Structure 1
Amino acid sequence: MFGRLRGAMQRFWTPVATFLLARGVSPDAVTITGTVVVTALALGLLPTGHLFLGALLIGVFALADSLDGVMARRSGRTGPWGAFLDSTLDRVSDGAVFAGITLWFVLHHEEPYAAWGTGAALACLVLGSVVPYARARAEAVGASASVGIAERTDRLVLALVPTGFVQLGLPVAVLVVVLGLLAVASLVTVVQRVATVRRQLTTAADGAEA
C-alpha cells in the first residue's frame, strides 16, 4: 500500500546517507540506533498517554527505516549480515510499538472498549511476529512465502495513525476496530503463507517421486 512512499523516502534519504557515510557512520549503527530510539519512544510515550507525540515521532523514524539500506548500497556493504540485522531489529521495534499500545489500554482500563483493545493489540503483537517468521522458515526449507495482505510499513502506519488521533478526540472504538482488522489481516497472511509453502513443497515432492 505504501510501497511508492517507501521508494520516495529512499530517494529523500540519499543525501543524508552520503553525509553520514562521509563522517564514518556505518549502516549497522543507524539500524541499531533507530531500533533503540523507536523502542524507547514506544514504551515511554504510548503507555503514559502521550499518544500523538509518540505516534508522530515513531512515524518519523519508521519513514527513516530505509536510511540504513540506502547507506549500505552506497557504501557497497550490502550482504546477508545487514539484511539479518535489519530484519531482526525490525521485530524488536514492531513488538515495542504494539506492546506500547497494549500497555496504554491496560493502564487506561476506564476507556471504552479497553478490554477489546487490549486483546486486539496483543493479537497484532503475536501475529505480527508470526508473519515474518513464516516467511523466514519458508526460505529455510527452500520455499517462498512473500504473499500477504499488508506489509510491515502498512501495519505500522495503520496502527499509529488512529493511536495518535485518539488523544485528539478520535473515538477509542475506531482504534479498536483498526487493530482488530490488522489482527485479522495478519492471521489471513499467516494462513496464506502456510498454504503457499505447503503447495510448493508438495509439488516439489511429487516432482521428485515422478
Structure 2
Amino acid sequence: MITRLRKESKKILRPIASALSKLGISANLMTIIGLVLALLYFIIIMLFRNPLYGLVLIIFSSLADALDGEIARITGKAGVLGSFLDSSLDRIEDTLFLSALCFLGFQSYLVAILVGLSLIIPYLRAKAESLGIKAEGKGIIERGERLIFIMIILLISMFYFQISTYIFYIFIILSAITVIQRFFLVSSSLPK
C-alpha cells in the first residue's frame, strides 16, 4: 500500500534531500539521525509517558528514514554498506517504537508479540529476495503501514486509550496475517 505512495512522495522528499546533501549530510548520517531520534522517542516515552512527544519524534525519525535513500540516490552513493546500515537500524528503530508502548499502558506480552511479528515480516522479505522471490509490496502490513499504525495509536491514546487499544489489537492481527501471507508466498514459490 505505502510502497505505491513512495513514488509520489519523492516529489516532496527529493528537494529536501538535495538541500541536505548540499549541506554535506550523507545518507548514512541521515540513517544514524533516524536511529538517534528513535532512541529519544523511547527515552521520552519511558520518562514522561507522553504520546504527543513520542508522536513528534517518530514523525521526524520516519522522515529521516525516508530521506536517507533519497540522499544516497541524489549523491550517487547508494551502496551495499548504506543498504545494510539502513535495514539493520530500521529493525532497531521498529523495536524501540513498539517497545515504548509498554510505558503507555499497553500489555507488555502483546507488545512483545507485536515486536516479534514486526521483525519476522522484513526477515521473510529478505529471505525471499535472497531466494530470488520478489516480496516487496506483498502482505497487508509493511514498514510504512506499521509506522502509521504506531502514529495513529499514539495520537488516539492521548484522547481515547480504549479505542487505541482496539487499534493495537487490529495491528497485531494484521501483522500476523502478513507473516502468514509472506510465509506462503515464499513456500509456494519454491520448488517442491
TM-score normalized with structure 2 length = 0.88
> Could you tell me whether the CA contact under 8 Å between 1:59 and 1:157 is conserved in 2?
no
The 5 Å alignment of 1:169-184 reads 169-170=159-160, 172-184=161-173
Unaligned runs of 5+ in 1: 106-113, 206-210
Is residue 91 of structure 2 the alignment partner of residue 91 of structure 1? yes
Q: CA RMSD in A?
A: 2.0
AA matched with 1:136? A
- The answer (yes or no) to whether the contact 2:27–2:68 under 8 Å persists in 1 is yes
- 1:77 alignment partner, SS class: coil
Q: In terms of Rg, which structure is larger?
A: 1
Give the alignment of 1:48-127 within 5 angstroms: 48-105=48-105, 114=106, 117-127=107-117
Q: CA deviation at 1:5?
A: 5.0
| Per-residue deviation, residues 152-187 of structure 1 (Å, max 9, x unmatched) | 1111111222223322x21x2212211111111111
How far does residue 10 in structure 1 lie from its aligned partner after superposition?
A: 2.6
Deviates more, 1:12-21 or 1:192-201: 12-21
Partner of 1:19: 19
Q: Conserved in 2, the CA contact under 8 Å of 1:55 and 1:160?
A: yes
Q: CA deviation at 1:104?
A: 2.7
CA distance in 1, matches of 2:110, 2:3: 25
Deviations 1:129-174 (CA, angstroms, capped at 9, x unpaired): 010011112222333333210221111111222223322x21x221
Q: What is the aligned counterpart of 1:129 among 119, 142, 145?
A: 119
Higher mean Cα deviation, 2-11 or 184-193? Answer: 2-11
**Distance apart, 1:57 and its partner CA:** 2.5
User: Which deviates the most, 92-101 or 174-183?
Assistant: 174-183
Q: Which runs of 5+ in 2 are unaligned?
A: none
> What amino acid sits opposite 1:21 in the alignment?
S
How many residues are treated as equivalent by the alignment? 190
Q: Does the aligned pair in 1 maintain the 2:156–2:164 contact within 8 Å?
A: no
Following the alignment from structure 2 to structure 1, what is the Cα–Cα distance between the partners of residues 38 and 134?
Answer: 30
Q: Which aligned runs of 4 or more in structure 1 are off by greater than 6 angstroms?
A: none
In structure 2, C-alpha distance between the alignment counterparts of 1:86 and 1:134, rounded to whole Å: 17
Bigger shift: residues 136-145 or 189-198 = 136-145
Aligned equivalents of 2:154, 2:125: Cα separation in 1: 28
Instruction: Name the SS for the 1:145 alignment partner.
Output: coil
Distance 1:57-1:40 versus aligned 2 partners, 3 A rule:
closer
Aligned to 1:189: 178
